[in-house]
Every structure is written in C-alpha cells, then in structure tokens.
Chains A and B, each alone.
Chain A
Amino acid sequence: MPSRRTPPFRACALLLLSLTATFFAGCGNDPNLKPEHEKRADGSPWQVRYSYMPDDPRSLDPQFAYDQMSRRLLEPVVDTLLEYHPFKTDPYEVMPSLLASLPERVKNPDGTETYVCKLKRGILFHNDPCFPGGKGRELTVQDVEYGWKRMVDPKVECPALSALQDYLVGFGEAYETAKKADGLDYSKPLKCFEIVDDQTFKVHLLKPYPQIIYWMAMHFMSPVAHEAVEFYDGKEHPDANGKMVLRPAFKWHPVGTGAFQLVEYEPASRARLVRNPNYHTVVFPSDGYPPDRADFLKQFAGQPVPLVDEIQVTIFREQTPIPVLFNQGYLDSMGVSKDAFNRVVTTAQELTPEYKKRGVVLEKDPDVSTFFISLNMEDPVIGSNKKLRQALSCSYDGQSYVDIFWNGVSPVAQQLMPPGIFGYDKNYQNPYSYDLDKARKLLAEAGYPGGIDSKTGRQLELNMEASANGSEERQMTEFVQKGFEQLGIKVNVVENTFAELLRKEDAGKFQILEGTGWGADYPDPENFYMLLNSRNFPPEGKNVSRYKNPEFDKLFDKMATMDNSPERLQIVNQLRDMIGEDCPQIFTFHKAFFTTINPWARRTSTNMLLEGAFKYQQVDPAMRAQLQREWNRTPKWPPFVLVLLIAGAAGYAIRLNRKRNV
C-alpha cells in the first residue's frame, strides 16, 4: 500500500527543501562585478566607483560621436585640446588640457584670424596592442593633424563639419574634394591647420569666431593615433597562436591619452574604465572652488588625477532597478528620475527625512538646456496667424506642468536661452506666459472666438505631434493637450515613432510639435539663437519651426561673433524680444538635474557641460562597505516558513491520499 513508498520520498523532499532554503538565505544581492585588482601597486586599496548609463553609446569614434552616452565614455578616454574647468560655472571657463596654455589669438589685417597653439610635451598614448610592443608612444602634432583630417573625411562623416566649414579656412572645400575623389588623401595638409614645429600648430579662421575655443573642448578636434585606426578595422586577424580573432572596429575601441582606458565594453551590459598609469596631463585644480564645498575640495588640490582606479558603468535600459540599486548602496549616485522625485525630494526641494538619515547628499544642477513646443511657421493655419500662436502660448500653464511632472524642480522657461548663458536675465518675464483671459482674448482677435472659426463656424482643430515613450511622457502630452483645449479648440494628439517624427520635422509637415528642445554644445547665445536662423532649416539645420525673419537674421549674424560686451547684450535682448513677440516656440522649461549621492561618494565637479568628470571623482570605500552591509540585511526566517508551509501542504495531501485508498 502507498505508505511504504512515502516515508523516504517525504524525507528527501524535506531535505532538498531545507538545502534550497539555506542557499536562498545565504545568497546576497550585490550585482556588481569584482574589481580588476584588490590593491594598488603600493599596497593601498584599489578604489572603484559604480556609475551607470541609461543607454548604449552610439559610437566611440571621437570625430563621429555626438550623443550624450558616447560622450560619457569618450570623455575619460580621449583627451581634448582644452577642457572645461570642473568648478568654474559662472561664467564657464575653459582651461588647457593637451595644450600647454590657452591659444594665442592673432587678428590678421585681412580680417582673418589665427590661433597659435602649443602642445604639452611628454604625453603618452594608452598602452594598447595597436602600438609596437603594446606600449603607447608620445603624442605629436601630427596626431592632432590626423584627427583634424578625419573631420573632413567623408568616410567618417563628422557632424561638426557643417558648423565649422563656415569658419575654418578650406575646410568645406577639403571635404568636397575628398568626396569627389571617393576618399581623403591623408598625405595632403589642411589649409586651416599649419604645423609650425613639433610642438606648435596654427589654426586659420576665415573670420572672427571666438567660440572656436569651445569647439577645442569637444572631441571632434582631439588627436587620434593613426595606428589605432589602422589596427582596429573590425576584421578577423590571426593572434599570437595563429587563431583567427575578430578585432573590434575603431568606433568601439577608442585609443587616446585620457586618464582612463576602456578595458571592457559589453553592449547593453556594462563598460569598465581602468586608470591609465601614464596619465599626468592635468592635475586636480587648486582654484575656482565653489564656496560651499571649498573645505572638502582643498584636500585634493594639486593631486594627480584620476583619484580612483576603476569605474564600472552599468548600462540600464530599464529605469526601475536604478533607485533600487542606489538604495541598496550598489550605485554611488543616481540622477533623480521623474518617478523617484517624491520619494527623494520634498516640494521644498529638500531631501526627504528618510534620505537625510542615511547621509545621502542632494545636488541640484541646472542643465544648460531649454525645452519648447515648436509651432510650424509654414503651416497655413498657425504660421500666418501671430495672434493664434500668442494665444496658444498664453494657454500653456508652465508652472503647473513643472510642479506635477518635475516636482517644481525645473525652472519654467521664459525665453530660449537657459541660465548660465551670457544674456540670460532671470527677471525677464515672457509677455505671453500663462494668462487664460489674455489667451481667450487673443484667440478671438485671431479669428477664433471661443475656439470657433468666425468665418466657417467650425471648431478649430489642430494636430499635435508627439513621440511618447512610457506612461509618464504620455501624461505630459495629455497635460499639454488639455491645456490648449481649455480655449475651446480641439487638439488631436498624433503619436509617432521617432523615425516618423524626424520625417515630419524634415519635411515641415506638422502644426504643433511637442517635446522639442536643445542642449547647449557650448555656453554661448549663438548656439541657441542659431535654432531660429532661416539658414538652418531641416534637414540640414535645426530650425524646426521654420522661422524666417530677415531682421532676426541680420541681428543674429552681427551678434554671433561679437565678444561679450554691453553692445552684444543689447542685441541679444533684441533677439529675445523678437522671438517673444512672434512665438514660433512655446517655452516650457529648463532642465534641472537633481542627483542624489551616497555619503561615501561626495561630488567634486559641478560643471554640467562635463559628462561625468570621472577623473575628478573620489570615493571612500570603507564607508561604502560598511553602509552596504547595514542597508542589506537579509532576514533568515522566510525560507523556513516556506519549507514549513510546503511540508504542511504535503502532509495534508498525503493524509488525503491515505483516506482515499482505504
């Protein structure tokens, strides 16, 4: 009968369950990898920081990469000629990196300009198999020239080309010639790049362009070792044992002179940066400290960088685990996402008490960006009717939008330029900001009293293009839609994939485009107002609204290359007022970042134009280890309760079984 079979069966089942239970309970939840080494060469502990990115980089080729993720991994690996000072943000300042000093600006009598640049000596490339013996060689002026030549190489397709060809001598022509010849002849020199001696080179400009030094802080002008480009061709080659091994393409294996080397990159998984032992290009700055953290930063003054040895960057395509891992202490800092706001930040923009207790620090940084809703100036309904645009602008409740979706963090945008740019006036109020009565009046003046077309008697219907990803963005779009509809008009939200949206932008086939914005490439008004210059229609340029105003263009051209002065300020204000009146864009907000930082990873750099400033980051590993243990206690009782439950169920079932068989 059955009872003969069941005891051994029951016994081993219970045994198995208890084993599993103990295994569960002893597991632990640390998702990070073991670091490269335990100790440094001198015996002190190896320091690691744990960072993250929300998506993969698009390319790590310095002359091609333009998106934020790519810049984040490129910045520590490939040096630029100049770089932004990590602490000076008001105004932003560039300091020499690969260059020994800021370039000398020479104004030539024929209206052209020349910048004389001197490279530092003794800078070495990373140790990499592309060099003979695997050892990095010294950086030369020819390497800088090689990088510049890649900018005009049609096979690379540098995105900076269209902007720079207006200013660098012979730049555009070099590209055109190379395109016709189906390849760049690297043996021919560039007209704009003149080598003087093994340390000095001159850059020739067609006309004054003070913003060129900001371009020198970008990767497009970085030096590149030709050995790296030739070695990393993305093809299979025999290795030391003769086995065919695939070599990554150069765009996934950057070789530079930076403070870190990219030792590992797994798409969709992680990237790992390890200290470059030969780096001594810059040291930790000794000046420019913001007063509120000067005491903390003083201890690092003059020290060699990077301060830490390794950076592990996890790539999170899913946003939900990020706050989880941050709270468990497995991430050092976290950009506070919209979803996590209320947990972390109170409406008074302070840390919630629960976070304060842990010793977490809240950093508030304004991003140098503005978001806006684009109105199509070429659309027959919207483009010709200024009062309609003004009415729409007045019906948008910027403050409520920011309060609901950004917890009041991001400042409402009154104008195109964000805080931090020359000419930004925080007391300026947009003449067409939220005012419902004014909006209704303007709408009537526009010919649509109460939202009804006075000529046809039909309700005004407008289409708003959006590309919403996720429930949060969907609700934001709905908010904007409902705001406009308060006027009595009907707004249809058309959902687009990103590709469709781009297509409509390029063709100018839309009425209202929600969710557009612009982040500064460099801190200058020219970088923002160029968005409304009639020369910059899509697809070549970024004038999405297709705004065409000859007055504006004239003033813009005048202002673009002026040095900062009261005269320039006056023109900038004029441009601002013009846009305010014409309303080709409805300004929504300036992004502001709230970042929470765990107590062992206090922030050093505050400059948002730097992507992470990894080489200046520091960490206290002992504090981190201790707090991680504290924050991740594993209760031991649940598995045993589970085992008991299952045993109980099994017992009941067996008793039932006995009853059945009797």
Chain B
Amino acid sequence: MFSYLIRRLLYAIPILFGVMLITFLLFFVVQPPYARARAILGEKARPAQVQQWLHDHGYDKPTYLNTKPGQHLFDSLFVNQMKRLITFDFGVSDKTSLPIAKTFKDGVIPSLCLTLPAFVIGFIMAVTLSLYQVFIRYSALDRFGVFFCVALMSIPPMIYMFVGQRVLAMQLNYFPAYGFDLRGWQTAKFLLLPVTLMIVMYLGNDVRLYRTIFLEEITQDYVRTALAKGVPQSRVLFVHVLKNGMISLITLVVAHLPFLIMGSLLLENFFGIPGLGNALIHAIQTGDAAMTNALVYLGALFYLAGLMLTDICYAFADPRIRLS
C-alpha cells in the first residue's frame, strides 16, 4: 500500500505543474501585466507611474526567457512565477500590495466558519434523509422526495440567496443582512443565514446521491440474510447498511474536505464574509493576477490533497491494495 500511495503522490507533481502553466498562460500571456497595471492604477495614472508599479511587482521582465545582456537567462516572468509558487513565496497582491500570505491566513478562518458547519450539518442531514428515503423506498413519498431533490438542484443558487436574505434578514429581521465579525459569540449571528443557505443549496444533490448509494447497499446479500434472520428493518438500515454504505460515502466525500478552506464564492461575496472565496472573486474581477494565481495554485493543492485522502480511504477499504 505504501508504494501505491507514493506513486499517487508523485503523480500529483506534474499535475500541479500543469495547473501552474495554465494559470500562467491565462493571466500573464493573454492579458499582459501592462494592461493590468493600467486598470489597477486607474484612469489618472501616468505611464511613468505604471512602469514604477511594474518594476515594484517584478513584472517588467520578458515572458519566457530573458535574453537581455547582463541578465540571468532564467530571470523571466514564467520562471519567476514558477519559483515563487513552489516555494510558497506568493509575494504581494497586484491591487493592494499587501502580502498575499497574510490575506490567505486572514481568509482561512472566515471561510471555514462558513463551510465547516455547513458541511458537517449538511452531511448529517443528508445521510439521515437519504436513509429515511431508502426506508420508505419506492413509495409515493419517496418518489416525491426524489422529485423534490431534483427540483432543489434546479434552482439557481442566487435565488436561494435573494429569497433567504429578503425573508430572513430583511422582513423578519432575524439576522444581519451583511457583514462579518470575528470577535467572540458575535460571529454566530453573521453565520446562521449563510450556513443555512449553503446547506439547503447542496441538500438536493447530496440526498439523491446518498440515496442511490444506500439503495445499492440494500440489494446486497447480507441485507437479505439479516432480514431473514429476523433483524428489524430499521436496525438493518440504520446500523448495518449505514456502516457499509458509509465506506463508499466517505471516500466520495473526503475529496471535498481540504477544499472547504476555499469557502463559497457566491455566499461570501453576497454576505460580505471576508473569506478566501470572496478574495478570489474579487481578485478575478479586479484583474489581480498575483492573487488569483496564488489562490488557484492553493486550490489545486487542496484538491490534490483531497484526491490523496480519497486514495488512502480506498486503500483501507479495498483489501487488495491494503495487503499488497
């Protein structure tokens, strides 16, 4: 198993490189730093100001290879960016000139405050509801449940946000309509609404998915045996099927775990939660290539970490790999 995991780890490296290449092409080749500098410094900026800015950020270098006399061959945009990403030296944001690492550290906690509770509570709810649906499988209520889940999935997420904010924050005045504050118990006040909305947004998809998985478990032989032995249906379902189904579930779900750090792009933006999702959306909309680059790179890292976790889970679950 160890060698299997090592191989998977090594495989991640060229993928990371591929990601860096794609983001570099998008942010430095198609839209050159000069245009971005003009956009960031504003209409009233003079060309000399722009040049100074480019120099401060290290963008006044040739794109791929530096053939200028007296300068190192590999002192180019491409190589510098690669070096920085690999060493986690993200530098400063194009727009605000604040260190990106600081923005990242500041943004992790708000994002997790939103995604972690939503994930945990959402998971528990989805498992409960899907197990219940399996319990009453193929009945009218179950079929309605499936239809309802598909309907939930077909509503654009913005509608959830608009309605949620309007009803709960504006008309009933239960929650602040916007904002965030990390000091003490106040934080919960700002989180209740976005967390609830996030749970509802993903519920439809999750319940349907888990229902399929548990339904497959039901068809297994051990279920028939247990029922024949006289074990009550609910016990079979909520204990045996749950345990076995969890294995498939967890391997599916574990891939998302590291990615939770990135937060939710839409919700953070709408409710003003200063997490990584908000930082990312803003970075893209303002053309802040340094920030976008760093965040996408980190996102890829987390995604690959998630894949690794999935592989580890598979390795434990599948004895063929575990014992090899």
Contacts and interface: CB of A to CB of B under 8 A. Distances in A.
Interface of A: 1-2, 5, 24-25, 27-33, 56, 58-59, 66-67, 154-155, 157, 159, 161-162, 246, 249, 251-252, 266-269, 314, 316-318, 320-321, 324-325, 328, 497-500, 502-503, 506, 539-540, 542, 632-635, 638, 653, 656-657, 660-661
A324 B177 contact: yes
Contacts of B47: 539-540
A27 B189 CA distance: 6
Contact of B173 (A66, A328, A540): A328
A502 B274 contact: no
Contacts of A30: 176
Contacts of B98: 252, 267
Interface string B29-46: 001000110111111111
Interface string B278-317: 1100100001000000000000000000000000000000
B38 A638 contact: no
Contact of A660 (B31, B136, B165, B181): B136
Interface in B10-33: 31
B233 interface: yes
**Which residue, A29, A59, A321, A328, has most C-beta atoms of chain B within 10 A?**
A29
B127 to A, nearest CB: 15
9 contacts: A27-B175, A29-B177, A56-B96, A159-B49, A252-B96, A269-B274, A318-B269, A321-B177, A503-B38
A156 to B, nearest CB: 8
B158 to A, nearest CB: 11
A325 B232 contact: no
B123 interface: no
B35 A502 contact: yes
Contacts of B39: 497-499, 502
Contact of B132 (A2, A317, A653): A653
Interface of B: 31, 35-36, 38-49, 52-53, 95-99, 102-103, 132, 135-136, 139, 141, 165, 169-170, 172-181, 189-190, 192, 232-234, 269-270, 272, 274, 278-279, 282, 287
A540 B46 contact: yes
Given A503-B38, A539-B47, 14 more contacts: A2-B234, A5-B234, A28-B174, A31-B176, A31-B181, A66-B42, A316-B178, A317-B272, A321-B177, A324-B177, A497-B39, A498-B39, A540-B46, A656-B139
A261 to B, nearest CB: 20
Contacts of B99: 246
B270 A318 contact: yes
Given A29-B173, A251-B97, A252-B98, A154 B48 contact: yes
A324 B40 CA distance: 30
Contacts of B177: 29, 31, 321, 324-325, 328
B175 A502 contact: no
Contacts of B41: 58
A634 B173 contact: yes
Given A539-B47, A540-B47, A635 B38 contact: no
A24 B176 contact: no
A628 B161 CA distance: 25
**Which residue, B43, B269, B270, has most C-beta atoms of chain A within 10 A?**
B43
B274 A499 contact: no
Nearest to A267: B96
**Which residue, A155, A498, A539, has most C-beta atoms of chain B within 10 A?**
A498
Contact of B36 (A2, A28, A499): A499
Contacts of B103: 267
B282 A317 contact: yes
A157 B96 contact: no
A159 B132 contact: no
A95 to B, nearest CB: 26
A269 B53 CA distance: 25
Contacts of A497: 39, 287
A29 B282 contact: no
Contact of A27 (B141, B174, B232): B174
A500 B35 contact: yes
Contacts of B44: 66-67, 159, 542
Contact of A29 (B36, B95, B169, B274): B169
B113 to A, nearest CB: 14
Contact of B48 (A157, A267, A268): A157
Given A154-B52, A251-B97, A267-B98, A29 B38 contact: no
B31 to A, nearest CB: 7
Contact of B38 (A2, A320, A321, A499): A499
A324 B169 contact: yes
Contact of B272 (A249, A251, A316, A540): A316
Contacts of B178: 31, 316, 318, 321, 324-325
Contact of A503 (B35, B95, B176): B35
A67 B232 contact: no
A314 B52 contact: no
A521 to B, nearest CB: 9
A58 B102 contact: no
Nearest to B279: A268
A657 B174 CA distance: 35
A320 B179 CA distance: 12
